[in-house]
Structure 1
Amino acid sequence: MEEQSLTQNMKKEEIQITDWQRILLGQAPFEFLLEVVVRTLIIYVVLVLAMRVLGKRMNAQLSVAELSVMIMLGGIVSVPMQVPNRGLLHGMLVLSCMVGMYRGINWLAYRFRRVEQLTQGNLHIIVADGVLNLQAMHRVRLSRQQLFSYLRAAHMQQLGQVKRVYLEANGKFSIYPQEPPRPGLSLLPEKDPAIREAEPADHTVKVCQQCGHPEAADHKPWQCPHCGHQHWANGVCKL
């Protein structure tokens, strides 16, 4: 009967805006606050042990599969901590099943390349030899300005300084510089004309304003052979 009274739906007339006991404590007795503390400590210890079992990857940058596991962990532990008529063993059982499932999927991903690609994702080549891979950017929903901001944070000023940019399966960017750098499309923001005008231009090289594909100025085609864009700019060198 007590469990039923804790879980029954409240009637409209029972809801009072000044009922501070219900607002602060809910329908559970005051003593349940102490039980919540005990439940939280137990769940915390179990969760730390589970994270140890899941491995060090859970403490690093997460893949899609690992992020899904983290979200599931939050959902699993919240109910046993807060609901008085739910025991801890049910949550621990669900948590154990989830840990076992995660370890099993990781084992399959280690054995089978296809499973690894499905669960962990794959890398994408975003920039190759100073030219944007627009198709890959469209697949991963990455805008030019987002990419340019990452490159600027890596101290790149123009695309000719970039040999490769990989978008890893965990969502991080790996950037490999071009040595020596070549003239390329400026990465500096158009809203800062003072710094853009200070960039040394190479008038012998034209670059596509859409993808950064370079062409000799005296043999520049009408449209970019890489992306079909028709607007060109002078290649710029590093400041």
Structure 2
Amino acid sequence: MEEQSLTQNMKKEEIQITDWQRILLGQAPFEFLLEVVVRTLIIYVVLVLAMRVLGKRMNAQLSVAELSVMIMLGGIVSVPMQVPNRGLLHGILVLSCMVGMYRGINWLAYRFRRVEQLTQGNLHIIVADGVLNLQAMHRVRLSRQQLFSYLRAAHMQQLGQVKRVYLEANGKFSIYPQEPPRPGLSLLPEKDPAIREAEPADHTVKVCQQCGHPEAADHKPWQCPHCGHQHWANGVCKL
């Protein structure tokens, strides 16, 4: 608040583009630079200890609760390191409160399933037996192109190769292959027609172009029983 009031009370003629001392040091004396180094070292040691207390999960892919803690840690440690009229104990106290709150939430999540779902998220089945779960994709705001790019990165060429795709609580995909593969919807991009035309088609199976649901080629009426879509394509075998 004091720094904001000082900035707001500065007169127009006091702001000079060549005032390098104000630009580089602000209104703090030059000696405060050495104090910043000392403050930074102390906060760094405290932060390392806090990260050890928070656990190994903070070094892995983060859940929503863990990411929130990480963002708040950045805001907590910046003020004690850089603001001359703020003591270190205030920052260390706030940091300790954050660590305690995080550990308390983890304890509640361990004891109560509902708390775990609210703070850690939940698993979603995105693909089951080569068919897209469009409702789950809508809930997690996952587009087909995003999912297809992940599957292509896992060396999948068509949905018939996929038995299950789980979207884990931490946002990571777990992919389990179908053995043996079945004819399914192509995962290759439509912008590469040359490679799509080279795909071996199974003319005995039609697949819904929206969700990948398979039906016999002579199946009628041509409305997908899974998603209601009416556009079909030949199933694709593994290349």
TM-score by length of 2: 0.96
What displacement does 1:19 show? Answer: 1.4
Contact kept in structure 2, 1:131 and 1:211, CA below 8 Å: yes
DSSP-derived class of the 1:76 partner: helix
Contact kept in structure 2, 1:205 and 1:235, CA below 8 Å: yes
Alignment match, 1:127 = 127
In structure 2, the CA distance between the partners of 1:125 and 1:170, relative to structure 1 (3 Å rule), is: same
Determine the C-alpha separation between the residues in 1 that align with 2:125 and 2:116: 18
In structure 2, the CA distance between the partners of 1:28 and 1:60, relative to structure 1 (3 Å rule), is: same
1:139-169 deviation per Cα after TM superposition (whole angstroms, max 9, x unaligned): 1110000000000000000000000000000
Contact kept in structure 2, 1:6 and 1:28, CA below 8 Å: no
Determine the C-alpha separation between the residues in 2 that align with 1:2 and 1:53: 34
What displacement does 1:8 show? Answer: 7.2
For structure 1, the residue ranges without an aligned partner over 5 or more in a row are none
In structure 2, the CA distance between the partners of 1:191 and 1:161, relative to structure 1 (3 Å rule), is: same
Task: Give the paired residue count.
Answer: 239
What displacement does 1:5 show? Answer: 9.4
Determine the C-alpha separation between the residues in 1 that align with 2:135 and 2:210: 12
DSSP-derived class of the 2:142 partner: coil
What displacement does 1:21 show? Answer: 1.2
Contact kept in structure 2, 1:125 and 1:164, CA below 8 Å: yes
DSSP-derived class of the 1:163 partner: strand
What displacement does 1:106 show? Answer: 0.3
Alignment match, 2:66 = 66
Comparing 1-10 with 95-104, which one deviates more in the overlay? 1-10
What displacement does 1:10 show? Answer: 2.4
Alignment of 1:10-159 (within 5 A): 10-159=10-159
What displacement does 1:12 show? Answer: 2.7
TM-score by length of 1: 0.96
What displacement does 1:88 show? Answer: 0.5
DSSP-derived class of the 2:95 partner: helix
Contact kept in structure 2, 1:125 and 1:166, CA below 8 Å: yes
1:6-38 deviation per Cα after TM superposition (whole angstroms, max 9, x unaligned): 787423332122211111111111111111111
In structure 2, the CA distance between the partners of 1:3 and 1:112, relative to structure 1 (3 Å rule), is: closer
Comparing 218-227 with 170-179, which one deviates more in the overlay? 218-227
1:31-54 deviation per Cα after TM superposition (whole angstroms, max 9, x unaligned): 111111111111111000000000
Alignment match, 2:171 = 171
Alignment match, 1:202 = 202
Determine the C-alpha separation between the residues in 2 that align with 1:221 and 1:126: 26
Contact kept in structure 2, 1:206 and 1:220, CA below 8 Å: no
Contact kept in structure 2, 1:185 and 1:235, CA below 8 Å: yes
Identity percentage over the alignment? 100
What displacement does 1:2 show? Answer: 11
In structure 2, the CA distance between the partners of 1:3 and 1:167, relative to structure 1 (3 Å rule), is: closer
1:162-216 deviation per Cα after TM superposition (whole angstroms, max 9, x unaligned): 0000000000000000010000000001111111111100000000000000000
1:55-87 deviation per Cα after TM superposition (whole angstroms, max 9, x unaligned): 000000000000000000000000001100000
What displacement does 1:219 show? Answer: 1.3
In structure 2, the CA distance between the partners of 1:44 and 1:220, relative to structure 1 (3 Å rule), is: farther
In structure 2, the CA distance between the partners of 1:6 and 1:83, relative to structure 1 (3 Å rule), is: farther
In structure 2, the CA distance between the partners of 1:94 and 1:208, relative to structure 1 (3 Å rule), is: same
